[in-house]
Amino acid sequence: LVKMTGKETIEQPVCALFTALGVHFGHLVEHLAGGSEEGKAECIEAVKLFSEAAKKGLALPDRSSTLRHAWAADAVGEALWKAGEALDGQAWAAEHIAPLVAALTATAEKVAANPLAASGGSGTLDAHVGLALTLHAQSSSSADSDRLFSLVTDAEKSLVLWDKVFHKSTGVREALWLLRCAQVLYQRGSNDKRLGELLMWVVCRMPEASRRVAHGALDTLTAMAAADAARLWKLLERSVVAELAAGRQPVGGSSWRDVLAAIAGGHCEQHAKQTLLVSMALAAHYPAATGEAGSLGRQSGLWISLAQRVGVDPADMCYERLDELLQVARQAMADDTKTADVTAASALVRDLVFIGGESVAQRVLEIAHDEVDPAALKAVTDEDIAVWQTPADQLHTDPLATKGAAATASKNVRGKTSDDV
């Protein structure tokens, strides 16, 4: 396989070839990292052969960028990402693997100095692989990882977080390595709001997103939530709500139910679970999330299922955190020009009444009584009341019957003057 790598330049065969090479390399790394002595010498010799070829591949010039990207992402990157900390302290890894990570780290530092100088999203692919591996694999030195972390997170024109960079990353490989970069930055402590924008761009807006990208995004969110779900939601909330309010759906066959469940199912201290559910309550009731666009008459069940997922009884939420939940709804209804917000808040109140029954309904009526504007109440007409009393699946006035009545009236007034009509 190594001997074949220099004989193919067409992109699809190259990707297939290097994917196969990466799988074989991954098996060697896994076998050696496991500490087995069986065939150890032969495996180390094969890793040495691979490493020598990979160092040359990672140093290829821009005119051979297809091969260089394949070496970085498919052959080297995938195997080392899966190995992770298993390589730490291994003598053979320090000799044959560390130089590969160092080469990718150098590429990341070089591109980070001027990300847009790279030609398109694929031009930053090597750098994204280097960043992800440097912060993820312990075979790289702490000084390298600290320096690269600061270089990426402190810069306004960031290698990862700048929208002009990640908007160009439109391929499957580019998206997956962007997600991995976001994951390692988060795990290293970054709370940059641009992380949320990046993640939601991949989830909802990435062109030509595939099922593989959708699964990769869910895997990334799950891994990030496993560290701290409440912190992740705080990072994502603004971007998630913006996408929901705009009515956008996750691409690649995923759904908002999947996305919100991945976040809510992460690690969270017991006392913080209810707080997390309060903060996610409005998002879980947007029509884009529930799949009930335009429906005001049914309970969504999504927020209830999220509560059950984290081991919280929704009824307990109604009794213990009712005022906070109603305050969320009231704030969303404050600006009635934001239709999606008002619809989500109405659905939230409806779910709370459904769960808590008469006591919750009475509390809602008390709030409405205190806040209703008498002047606005006087403006309500009999027609408004009749429309509100009409069942959700019916029209108050049949437009066909109205049109027929108008036509009949027109026939009855023929011959009269315009003033009489």
Q: Which of 101-115, 135-149, 187-201 has the highest mean pLDDT?
A: 187-201
What is the value of pTM for the model shown? 0.81
Lowest mean pLDDT of 23-27, 183-187, 202-206, 294-298, name the range: 294-298
- Interval 290-347: pLDDT, tens: 876 544 434 468 999 999 888 899 999 888 999 999 999 999 888 777 788 989 999 9
CB atoms within 10 A of CB 99: 16
Angle at CA of residue 170, ends 167 and 176, nearest 5°: 100
The tens digit of pLDDT for each residue in 8-24 reads: 556 667 778 888 888 99
